Each structure stands twice: as structure tokens, then as C-alpha cells.
């Protein structure tokens, strides 16, 4: 029956979006670690070009997840802070980890959009949330790589 299919599609979308949120949480934690290890000038760039957009995307994705769950009477989820992984005094280690997590989050959301499930379940708010999340982090990997090239040189 259609009802079951729609519900399972919605649950799948929530799970996938949660995976993207978790990746963004890892990115934020890793960027926080990198921030502690860089000079003041680099820290300003890191905050403006990476931390703020990723934080915005993280908030947007979490809100999209919570509102979608609420609209469809599905269980909400509490998200734990991300782990930055093993500590390193080399900020590049954390920056590389953050870039990988941002790209993974973007990949997950892109696949959700490409799957047509957000269209099939007929939820414009979800589609808008996914689009905005991706727009917020679109340039972060490029900025991250530029920063990687300048750190420790």
C-alpha cells in the first residue's frame, strides 16, 4: 500500500538527513580543533569561510530534520556533538578531516535530492531545507583547501 511506502520513504529520508547532520557535526568539531592550533589571522579566515557556513548548514539541516519529523509524526532525534577524532597539534590534520566530513555531508544531501524521494513524498519544506544546507557549504571545501595550502608554509 501507498501509505507504507510513503512512511518508509520518509523514514529513509530522515535517516539520510541525520547522517548528513552527523557529518556536519564532525566537521564543526574538527574545525574547532584546527582553530585552536592556528595563528590569529588564519583563525579569522577559518571562522568566516568555514566555521560559520558549516555551523549555518548544521543548524539548517537539524531544523529541517526536526520539522520534517514533526510534520509527518515521526520520531525526532537528538544529535550529539561531533567528535573531532584523535587530537593533533597539526591543524592541517583537523582541516582535512573537516573537509572530508563537509564533502560527505554534501554527497549525502545531493544523493537525497537526486533520488527523487523528497519530490515523491511531496514535501517542499524538506526540499528547500536540503537546498539551503547545500548552498551554505558549497564553497567550504574549496576554502578549506586554500587554507590548507597556506597553513604551516
Rounded to whole angstroms, what are the CA distances from 112 to 13, 22, 43?
7, 15, 33
Mean pLDDT of 51-70: 97
What is the tens place of the pLDDT at every residue in 89-119?
Answer: 899 999 999 999 999 999 999 999 998 888 8
Other CB atoms within 10 A of residue 90 CB: 12
DSSP letter string, 11-44? HHHHHHHHHHHHHHHHHHHHHHHHHHHS-HHHHH
Q: H helices then E strands: how many in the chain?
A: 7, 0
> Which pLDDT belongs to residue 134?
97
Amino acid at each position: 500500500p501507498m501509505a507504507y511506502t510513503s512512511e518508509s520513504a520518509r523514514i529513509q529520508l530522515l535517516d539520510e538527513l541525520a547522517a548528513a547532520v552527523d557529518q556536519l557535526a564532525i566537521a564543526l568539531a574538527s574545525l574547532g580543533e584546527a582553530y585552536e592550533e592556528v595563528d590569529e589571522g588564519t583563525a579569522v579566515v577559518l571562522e568566516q569561510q568555514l566555521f560559520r557556513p558549516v555551523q549555518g548548514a548544521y543548524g539548517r539541516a537539524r531544523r529541517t530534520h526536526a520539522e520534517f519529523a514533526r510534520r509527518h509524526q515521526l520520531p525526532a532525534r537528538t544529535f550529539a556533538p561531533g567528535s573531532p577524532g584523535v587530537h593533533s597539534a597539526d591543524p592541517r590534520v583537523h582541516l582535512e578531516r573537516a573537509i572530508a566530513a563537509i564533502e560527505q555531508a554534501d554527497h549525502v544531501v545531493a544523493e537525497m535530492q537526486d533520488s527523487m524521494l523528497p519530490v515523491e513524498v511531496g514535501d517542499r519544506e524538506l526540499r528547500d531545507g536540503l537546498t539551503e544546507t547545500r548552498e551554505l557549504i558549497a564553497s567550504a571545501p574549496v576554502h578549506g583547501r586554500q587554507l590548507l595550502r597556506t597553513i604551516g608554509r
